[in-house]
Chains A and B, each alone.
Chain A
């Protein structure tokens, strides 16, 4: 569910298109320097994964269910540069193909989810990882907190846009209270799913988790030869 056309006024929408274009431009540079010619196929398949993972239904209770949003998951699995690109492409395709999110509102949606969502989650992830003891178990815990906090932050970013350029008459404070409280709940679900998924990837292919880079133990070669004295 993304912001449709005409929900936020034209000047604000245009301003956020400019801001998002700059942000995505920076991410393009970052991703290129990091992944080189591997970028397109790997980021492409990661994007497909985010698309597909959003289709998995997580039942909550009494017939309700939710699905993954994927910003934090993408940032921790493939790194914030590539995640910014992946989520942006998910948003562009959703707007062009499924009419989910307005074409003129694309800058607003990219700002909230690809820029604020991805980078907020990665920053929180790094901070929490630094606080926790540096072992493998800390990664899912940091992922949980990052994904949990990221969702209400992205929602607040929407409220910020609403405050600047909304045509609606519902007071900003009311929108903020409603958005923030529901998104804290959504965030708890998002955090759980993200942490469970990350810990399962860590168990089998920890080398694929960007947020775990450089932390795996160096192979120690222990010699069996004993001194004979």
Chain B
């Protein structure tokens, strides 16, 4: 074992959302109906729900109350820690910043607020972007917190993503920890030789490190391929095991988009 502590390196990898231990770190283990749902149904359910949300204009604000209540109840049923969900949703901050600018742009109805002209059109567009984006982010967080990465791949395979894509994604998730560990070891090695990246003049070294990482990843790919051949690989990977969806699963999965669709249609046609 190589001790990694003495360099005094702050574990910078945790600052970045791409993080470490991709599959395992995002999954939050609980025993709930949401966790138990088949991953393919979960992805499809979320996708249809988001299509309903994106298709609803923000002016139907009652619908948006329904959408938010629905996604928040899913999070609560899945017993996900609120703080973790909040932290993971910070990913959307750049687009919120963009939305903040929007009320100052537009045409038509406007009013003056603290010496700034605020356009109603822009205000509505900003609200739409924030509301839809937030629901999307919450949905994806719920998905990755209630299904392991392997489950999600299984789901994608079942949803007929081409098998080559599923295989590439499987390899990616299988080796992301190996490769990012390798990258961390290279970083420790650089630091133990007194290297600290300060500015653009250090890019050459970082570029060589990226190159070394590429060569090692590629050569690992070749070794993996040879190892597979020696174990009888003939060009097709076995399908990831999946069980048939039960009628009940189908009902649970369908309930989210269908409730959203019916209530938003009611809002648009009746009220």
Which residues of A are in contact with B by a Cβ distance under 8 Å? 1, 4-7, 9-10, 13, 24-25, 28, 31-32, 36-49, 51-61, 68, 77, 85-86, 88-90, 92-93, 95-100, 102-105, 167-171, 174, 192-193, 195-201, 203-205, 208
Contacts and interface: CB of A to CB of B under 8 A. Distances in A.
Given A5-B133, A85-B168, A77 B47 contact: no
Interface stretch (B1-9, B230-238, B251-259): B230-238
A104 to B, nearest CB: 5
Interface size class of B (residues with CB under 8 A): 35 or more
A89 B237 CA distance: 18
B18 A54 contact: yes
Given A28-B162, A53-B214, A104-B136, A42 B221 contact: yes
Nearest to A68: B210
Contacts of A39: 164, 168
Q: Is the interface of A mostly helix, strand, loop or mixed?
A: helix
Contacts of A95: 140
Contacts of A89: 165, 168-169, 172
Given A38-B225, A103-B50, A170-B102, A52 B172 contact: no
Contact of A5 (B135, B152, B178, B233): B135
B50 to A, nearest CB: 5
A208 B16 CA distance: 29
Contacts of B131: 6
Interface of B: 12-13, 16-18, 22, 26, 43, 46-47, 50-51, 53-55, 88-89, 91-92, 94-95, 98-99, 101-102, 105-107, 119, 121-122, 125-126, 128-129, 131-133, 135-141, 143-144, 149, 152, 156, 162, 164-165, 167-176, 178-180, 183, 197-200, 202-204, 206-215, 217-218, 220-222, 224-225, 228, 233-235, 237
A39 B132 CA distance: 37
A169 B106 contact: yes
Contact of B210 (A45, A56, A93, A203): A56
Contact of B143 (A42, A61, A77, A96): A96
A168 B102 contact: yes
Given A42-B222, A85-B168, A48 B176 contact: yes
Q: Which of A68, A95, A197 has the most CB of B within 10 A?
A: A197
Contacts of B233: 37
Contact of A169 (B88, B122, B206): B122
B18 A47 contact: no
A99 to B, nearest CB: 4
B80 to A, nearest CB: 13
Given A58-B203, A89-B168, A193-B207, A103 B105 contact: no
Given A6-B132, A55-B183, A104-B54, A61 B89 contact: no
